Amino acid sequence: MIARPALAAGLAAAAVLGAAALLGGDDEPSRPAAARPDPGRLVFAREACGSCHTLAAAGTRGELGPDLDQALAHHDRASLKAKILDPTPAGREEMTLMPEDYGRRMTARELDALVTYLLRR
Amino acid sequence: MRAAKAVVAALLATLLAPAVASAGGWATVGLSSLPDGTAAGKPWVVDLTVLQHGRTPLAGVEPAVILRGPQGGQRFAARPTDRPGVYRARVVFPARGTYRYTVDDGFSRTHALGSVRIGAPAGAAAAPQDGGVPWATLALAALAAVGAGLAARATARRRTLARA
């Protein structure tokens, strides 16, 4: 037979350990805010920019699109925004694989953060 | 005009990436979060969004996050979520150090997506590499044991007094 004090002690320990296990649950995706990366870098990662573009600051080495370490030198804020939102503007027959719907995928604030990050790299 | 551009883009995809084209196309991988700030031994739970041609959610593949760090390479398979094209991986950096992380999209290729410097768990900065010992849980367990001991002692004392 288990003595009452011992039973109480066991239950208390189990309760505390159980609470610790619950608090330490990690099946949910990590929250971006917890790590506090640059918000523009987070958009860069979320929108898979690095799958196609090389950018040394982000550590990506995509090769399907232009090397951003080179290409960004030719952009200012306005031209970069325009390029992201419309990679193949009317009247210019540039060939690109870049999707044309980033204006719908990102909020204006996210686009701003992305452009800031890219130009500050 | 847009249709013509789409055709040109499709042709370009085939010309620029013959290897992946022969495998049925190419895909992009987006990350729901970055591992910055993750401590050694703690999980980085990340959702991978795999889009064929950067557009179409790709279901039925088996992507994985691959780490290359001080202790060599490690692969963490991602599991499908209830959202098409979205897979969840639970990645654990085994020790402090600098890691490169890549994602095998399970479809066409591996994507080099960055590097990160991983530090020691919070509150254990001066401790040696511990391989992920759950210090917080151990501390709580120790507190619980102390509390239980005090409770047992109080109960025993009450009984002694009651007999007297």
Q: Do B33 and A31 touch (CB under 8 A)?
A: yes
Please give the average per-residue pLDDT across A115-119, as a whole number: 97
- E-only strand ranges, A34-117: 54-55, 60-61
pLDDT at position A95: 75
Q: Please indicate, yes or no, if residue A110 is contained in any of the structural domains.
A: yes
Domain at A41, CATH number: 1.10.760.10
Written as one letter, the residue type at B87 is Y
Whose CA is closest to B105, among B45, B71, B65?
A: B65
Residues from chain A contacting residue B148 (CB–CB below 8 Å): 8-10, 12-13
| CA A93 to the chain's CA centroid | 31
Q: Please indicate, yes or no, if residue A19 is contained in any of the structural domains.
A: no
- From residue A77, how far is each of A47, A53, A111 by CA, in Å? 19, 18, 11
Nearest CA in chain B to A50: B113
User: Over the stretch A21-40, which tens digit does the pLDDT of each residue have?
Assistant: 545 445 677 765 445 789 99
**Residue A3 above 60 pLDDT?**
no
User: Over the stretch B25-35, which tens digit does the pLDDT of each residue have?
Assistant: 899 999 999 99
Instruction: Locate A106 and state its tokens.
Output: 């990102």
CB nearest to B29's CB, from A51, A61, A99:
A51
When pLDDT is cut at 50, 70 and 90, the band that residue B39 belongs to is very high
Q: What's the DSSP call for residue A31?
A: P
Distance from CA of B91 to the nearest CA of A (A): 10
Separation CA A96–CA B20 (nearest Å): 17
Encode burial over B74-84: b for 16+ CB neighbours within 10 A, e otherwise. Answer: bebebeeeeee
Whole-complex ipTM: 0.73
When pLDDT is cut at 50, 70 and 90, the band that residue B3 belongs to is low
Query: Is the pLDDT higher at B17 or at A119?
Result: A119
Lowest mean pLDDT among A34-48, A100-114, B41-55, B146-160: B146-160
pTM over 0.80: no
Nearest CA in chain A to B150: A9
pLDDT at position B134: 52
Separation CA B61–CA A97 (nearest Å): 22
Nearest CA in chain A to B29: A48
pLDDT at position A12: 57
Q: Please indicate, yes or no, if residue A74 is contained in any of the structural domains.
A: yes
Q: Please indicate, yes or no, if residue A17 is contained in any of the structural domains.
A: no
Q: In 3-state terms, what secondary structure has residue A66?
A: coil
The residues with which B77 forms a beta bridge, in sequence order, are B64
Instruction: Locate B95 and state its tokens.
Output: 């020790």
Distance from CA of A39 to the nearest CA of B (A): 10
Q: Do B156 and A5 touch (CB under 8 A)?
A: yes
Structural domain span for residue A76: 36-120
Q: Which CATH superfamily is domain B2-133 in?
A: Immunoglobulins (2.60.40.10)
Distance from CA of A61 to the nearest CA of B (A): 6
DSSP string, chain B: -HHHHHHHHHHHHHHH-HHHHHTT--EEEEESS--TTPBTTSEEEEEEEEEETTTEE--S---EEEEEETTEEEEEE-EE-SSTTEEEEEEE--SSEEEEEEEE-SSS-EEEEEEEEEBPPTT-TTSPP-SS--HHHHHHHHHHHHHHHHHHHHHHHHHHHHH-
Query: Is the pLDDT higher at A1 or at A101?
Result: A101
pLDDT at position A8: 59
pLDDT at position A96: 81
Overall number of domains in chain A: 1
When pLDDT is cut at 50, 70 and 90, the band that residue A13 belongs to is low
Q: Please indicate, yes or no, if residue A3 is contained in any of the structural domains.
A: no
Segments making up each domain of chain B, as ranges: 2-133
pLDDT at position A121: 78
Written as one letter, the residue type at B119 is G
Instruction: Locate B82 and state its tokens.
Output: 């209830």
Please give the average per-residue pLDDT across B2-6, as a whole number: 53
Neighbours of B11 (CB within 10 A): 11
Q: Do A28 and B45 touch (CB under 8 A)?
A: yes
CB nearest to B34's CB, from A13, A37, A99:
A37
User: Over the stretch A28-80, which tens digit does the pLDDT of each residue have?
Assistant: 777 654 457 899 999 999 999 999 999 999 999 999 999 999 999 999 999 99
Q: Do A13 and B43 touch (CB under 8 A)?
A: no
User: Over the stretch B116-160, which tens digit does the pLDDT of each residue have?
Assistant: 999 987 665 443 333 444 545 555 666 666 667 777 777 777 777
